[in-house]
Structure 1
């Protein structure tokens, strides 16, 4: 009787099941990347990156980054999807297949994210508070009325010292020639942001209202002065005016109701879509 391993233990073991390689992932990996598809379609359409940037208003560095499958410069999944949709339409592609591919590679349809960091480089300075001319005008009117009232009261007090010299019928009073105190004039009402029905024809007036959801917006005058740069909450409105032109950036264009020079703009913007718009006195056509 021997002590040790039996002859059966020396035999090589065999796997219970054959090694089957899953080819489903390989088939998906065979698909060209989103950036490669957009780049090839642009080349086939005979367009340069500069021409695509001009037609879509997506900046040239972002177009280059997307064609290299770098979506970090888009500012989040919501804006990456908007850029992909915009570029696909510019080069003649159906954007839905690319959006579906993007969602599959990045964990599904994203939830909306704040848009403020998207154009951080374009921030200049916060909007300055305008002086309260209404309060200043009311204070000035009160001061004038108080001064005139004090003058009249002091004059009546001085005249009463000499009025009882002798008894008899009081003589008819002659006009004193003193001016009457001016009537208080109500200060003109401050212009309302919603009062654009009678927009002046010599200016360009734009009103933005966040109806569907909140959206980040930026507004500049023709001379480059920043009029507003921030988040417009749902239900809030902003009105801007300039002598010649207004330049806008809408971070979530599908959530914005837009009026230009008193007329509603009927363009169908989509949720998450980034739009760069310019308007002049002759619009609501895009300038």
Structure 2
């Protein structure tokens, strides 16, 4: 079935390449995307699984299948994405990417000639120089007239700024003295609030902290319900808690660090390999159970 599909696609594409009028890139992209989608659906493969294997975002794969050229990068990069998609399906990625044309920017064939340019006559030069001298004289006179006004404005602004600075310093001094007691009370309240948050944290038997060292697709299931599913960028730090069971599934296990109940963080698996980790409350060791402070 796969060989017949590829044969029909390549035969149709070669006939269009030999035609007199070249086919638009968007139409060719739509044909390539339709072939890839047809093969994916025949093999019952979801678009999310393709995104995990190829490390290509789901919206990019969907744009390729729907032939949305305006949602994709430059054609040279789009060829690489098509190649990765086809190879993940077990097809010849080079052949698929070859049939997406890359147009070079058109070069202008207009030739400039000095003969076609208008020539200045002596009368034109005389009028131009006269206009230039008049503009220069007017500009100098206005500049000299405004210099005195600028100096007066600068002196007035300096005095006003000095008065405003003095008023600001007085206001800051009075505000600092008034807020000194309030700041002390706020510090005590912040300390109490921080203590309460520490007491509440880690109250559930299973707590998993995830740190992303590389971009990865993630799915987190908390007590039988999916709490998160999507792609997390590098540098993301997230924490999930569960009463009974917590399941973590990563598409790029080598880019995910996992720490259980504030323990030592460890890599989930090898780079580029999907992996699932299951944490159950009744299977935790005594040293892995959360400790409540206070």
Give the shorter-chain TM-score range.
Answer: 0.3 to 0.5
Structure-2-length-normalised TM-score: 0.33
Larger RCO: 1 or 2 (CA < 8 Å, sep 6+): 1
Higher helix share: 2
Computing the radius of gyration over CA atoms, which structure comes out larger, 1 or 2? Answer: 1
